[in-house]
Structure 1
Amino acid sequence: MSQATFTLDDLKRILLEGSGAPEGGGLDGDSLDTEFSDIGYDSLALLETASRIEREYGIELDESVMGEATTPRVFIDAVIGHLAVPAA
């Protein structure tokens, strides 16, 4: 089922479901512009997160999203951008 919004709370929930809490850090409002690697999430965690988002929200994220979305803010904006595109 496609939803119209995607928030930091959604990202946190899906990251935790897929890969758990990172060592020594976490995702909060203060870390929106912090690199995922600095928060403790690696590329595998982000791939799993993207896969879960695609299934849950019924969207397909471009491969470029994974390369360009290095912070939570950019990742959230990319998902919102895909949610805003009407299904063909």
Structure 2
Amino acid sequence: MSTFDAIELREIMAASVGVEDDVHFDGANLDVPFSDLGFDSLALLELAGQLQRRYGVQIPDEAITEEMSSPRAAVDYVNSLLVPAAA
């Protein structure tokens, strides 16, 4: 797999930490910080762990808060890691 999208992000988060039915990672919500969407740092750590296992990427702890602050930022960051892995 060479791309990751917001639909996959929501599926992973729903399975691992839970996502309210009315929370979608599309439109304006793509740029809303995870904290404003109701996800704490533990939820983001779990997300990072799931992404590392599923996609075989390494996500440093500091990237979780600095690079993955919103759904769009998380998708973009993971995709930036997948491109070199696919090469």
Pick the TM interval, shorter chain: 0.7 to 0.9
Q: Which runs of 5+ in 2 are unaligned?
A: none
Q: CA RMSD in A?
A: 2.0
% same residue = 35
How many pairs are equivalent? 85
What residue ranges of structure 1 are gaps of 5+ in the alignment? none
Q: Where has structure 1 moved over 3 Å in runs of 4 or more? A: none
Q: Please, what TM-score do these two structures have when normalized by structure 1?
A: 0.85
1:1-88 matches, within 5 Å, as 3-22=1-20, 26-29=23-26, 30-68=28-66, 69-86=68-85
Q: Secondary structure at the match of 1:47?
A: helix
**How far did 1:63 drift?**
2.5
Q: What is the rounded CA distance, in whole Å, between the counterparts of 2:29 and 2:63 in structure 1?
A: 19
Report the TM-score, using the length of structure 2 for normalisation. 0.86
- C-alpha change, 1:72 and 1:26, in structure 2 (3 Å) is same
